């Protein structure tokens, strides 16, 4: 277990010292959840997540000095998303968490496979009815057969009517083939596309983006450990802290950490050697390179202690 030393908190951070604190970069969160095989409830529970979100929000506002009506721009673009399965079986729980997030001025999002939405449109409409859900992701299987057009349109226009934003996640060609970009009443300003593959109309940049600022957020593993980016989830020694810890006792509150979050955000990880040719994850290349380097060091350290 990582040993973190609690640091005293002295109110709003001074952001003028060259190095910005983690709070500047880590204002949003994506938390993994899984179903307990015995009870069917989510782990971590929605109540634990809601409790953490309330504590994090209070700490964040105090840290950036929002009570003094300063730095209002740091309140923008804050959101929490859940990453998991079977969300349509947990609509009442999601509604509770969405309401908590909405009350704090934090966006809330989940992603539902399109085939599940079409199989259980009643549950999907109930989820859409949670107007506190600000973004609803819809993942598309490349092999999905063309669905009933009227049912599809009613689901997608329902999201937009509820003032939610729509995010399509999947192969670009499949998104186009299913006509998801041609639904009457849904315009491009209400849609974000996250392609899983390039498709015929997209290409990859020759040089990957190294700075991490756009990829940094708090990622929570199912065991409650918190990390600053997806590529570091599960890497030994890289946890910021735990979901149940006081925020002040974690790296967010000033505890020691092996990496400088500000350096990662501005310049990206310091890497040596050629990037891996055999890809093991769907992470950006620079992220996989960094993750594998850290895992190699952790393995060497463990071997030396054996």
Contact partners, residue 289, CB within 8 Å, separation at least 6: 269, 271, 275, 276
pLDDT digits (tens, 9 = 90+) for 213-233: 999 999 999 999 999 999 999
Q: Where do the domains of the chain lie, and which CATH numbers do they carry?
A: 22-305 (3.20.20)
- Mean per-residue pLDDT, 276-298: 88
For 86-103, what is the mean pLDDT? 95
Q: Is the pLDDT of residue 302 over 70?
A: no
Query: Which range among 71-80, 125-134, 294-303 shows the weakest confidence by mean pLDDT?
Result: 294-303
Residues above pLDDT 90, as percent of the chain: 55
159 compared with 237, residue with greater pLDDT: 237
What contacts 210, CB < 8 A, 6 or more positions away? Answer: 267, 268, 269, 286
For 54-92, the pLDDT digits (tens) are 999 999 988 887 765 667 777 888 999 999 999 999 999
Q: How confident is the model at residue 188 (pLDDT cuts 50, 70, 90)?
A: confident
Q: How many CB atoms lie within 10 A of CB 259?
A: 18
* pLDDT at site 162: 84
As a whole number, mean pLDDT of residues 229-254 equals 96
Residue ranges with strand state E in 221-297: 225-227, 241-242
CA angle 241, 255, 214 (to 5 degrees): 65
Per-residue DSSP letter, 156: H
C-beta atoms surrounding 183 within 10 Å: 20
Helices (H) and strands (E) in the chain, counts: 9, 11
Sign of CA dihedral 19, 22, 27, 31: positive
Dihedral (Cα; 220, 105, 70, 23), 10-degree rounding: 0
CB under 8 Å to 211, separation ≥6 — which residues? 264, 265, 266, 267, 268
């Amino acid at each position: 277990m990582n040993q973190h030393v609690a640091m005293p908190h002295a109110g709003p951070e001074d952001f003028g010292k060259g190095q910005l604190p983690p709070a500047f970069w880590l204002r949003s969160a994506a938390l993994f959840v899984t179903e307990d095989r015995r009870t069917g409830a989510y782990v971590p529970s929605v109540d634990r997540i809601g409790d953490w979100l309330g504590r994090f929000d209070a700490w964040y506002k105090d840290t950036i000095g929002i009570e003094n009506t300063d730095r209002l721009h740091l309140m923008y673009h804050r959101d929490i998303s859940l990453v998991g399965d079977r969300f349509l079986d947990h609509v009442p729980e999601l509604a509770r968490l969405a309401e908590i997030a909405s009350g704090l001025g934090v966006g809330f999002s989940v992603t539902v496979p399109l085939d599940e939405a079409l199989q259980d449109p009643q549950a999907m409409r109930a989820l859409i009815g949670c107007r506190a859900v600000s973004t609803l992701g819809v993942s598309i299987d490349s092999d999905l057969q063309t669905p009933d057009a009227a049912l599809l349109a009613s689901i997608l226009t329902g999201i937009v009517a509820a003032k939610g934003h729509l995010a399509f996640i999947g192969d670009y060609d499949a998104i186009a083939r299913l006509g998801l970009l041609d639904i009457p009443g849904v315009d491009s300003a209400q849609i974000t596309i996250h392609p899983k593959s390039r498709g015929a109309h997209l290409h990859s940049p020759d040089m990957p983006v190294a700075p991490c600022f756009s990829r940094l957020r708090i990622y929570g593993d199912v065991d409650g450990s918190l990390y600053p980016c997806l590529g570091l989830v599960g890497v030994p020694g890289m946890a910021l802290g735990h979901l149940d810890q006081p925020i002040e006792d974690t790296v967010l509150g000033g505890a020691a950490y092996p990496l400088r979050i500000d350096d990662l955000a501005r310049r990206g990880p310091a890497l040596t050697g050629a990037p891996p040719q055999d890809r093991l994850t769907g992470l950006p290349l620079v992220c996989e390179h960094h993750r594998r380097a850290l895992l190699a060091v952790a393995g060497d350290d463990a071997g030396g202690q054996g």
